[in-house]
A and B are shown apart, each in its own frame.
Chain A
Amino acid sequence: MNACKLLIVDDSNIMRRRIERSQQIDALTVVGTAANGLEALELFKQTNPDVVTMDITMPQMDGIECIEQLVALKPQIRILVISALADKATAVEAMEKGANGFLNKPFTDRQLNEAIAELLRRSA
């Protein structure tokens, strides 16, 4: 598999570091981290990631709006939503906007890696 560039979006520093530290997919290289949707769009333009992990509840621009804009910029982008919001309607809305997977917080390292691996497998 060719190397993929990963952008991590979450308003929690701890969560961004956790995802960066825990993801152990050899084919992924973290190219940036963003604390909200606006920062993510800026970093997207600079780094052109292939994969994004996206929180939903964030200040300034939430994850749902950011997903919509990222997909408009790069339809083939793969987005894994990582959110505490556990209702089905939010997951459905995220998928309808273009997300490819959904992982609820809290999560284990194993669940994170399985979710990312599944995302890459499905889009290979």
Chain B
Amino acid sequence: MLQEQELKTFVEGTTNYFEVAAQQAASIGSPYLVTKGTPGVHDYTGVINISGKREGVVYFTAPRAMLTVLLMKMQETDFSHETMKDLVGEVANTISGNARRDFGRDFVISVPNVVSGDKVEVPADMRPFVIPINWRSHSAKLVVALK
């Protein structure tokens, strides 16, 4: 189960990502625990599997409209399906990798696995925390499920 301080690491990582990469702060909502079922996903989801000292999954899921604006802010001109997948993977990878500042190198992160539209399975013995992300007029979420 995720401790409060650990959750804070992911909240700060998400805040930092938008401030630096998108050059526009996101508003982070209050994280909440999902006690039943799996959190829903948006159009694109970047999934990072966690192994080592902790096990679980971290994923960033966002609608296409939000990713399009994010790409524009990054001066990208390619808005293809492949680029959307690349972006959600990179966001998930960056936030998870940054978490090693607090978790240490035994927090082993996989390369991103990207899904579009499909549900992401969270192991039944893990309770996922959802960190709501509001950026411009769009909503996304970071889901963290660790044991």
Contacts and interface: CB of A to CB of B under 8 A. Distances in A.
Interface residues of A, number: 23
Chain A: interface secondary structure?
Answer: loop
A21 B86 CA distance: 17
A18 interface: yes
B111 A106 contact: no
B93 interface: yes
A89 B86 contact: no
B13 to A, nearest CB: 9
B136 to A, nearest CB: 18
A3 B86 CA distance: 32
A14 B83 contact: yes
Interface string B8-20: 0000000011001
A90 B74 contact: no
Contact of A18 (B20, B74, B95, B99): B74
Contacts of A59: 111
B80 to A, nearest CB: 10
Interface stretch (A40-48, A65-73, A79-87): A79-87
Given A14-B86, A104-B98, 20 more contacts: A11-B111, A12-B86, A12-B93, A13-B83, A14-B90, A17-B78, A18-B74, A57-B93, A57-B111, A58-B111, A83-B97, A84-B95, A85-B105, A86-B97, A86-B98, A87-B105, A90-B100, A90-B105, A106-B20, A108-B23
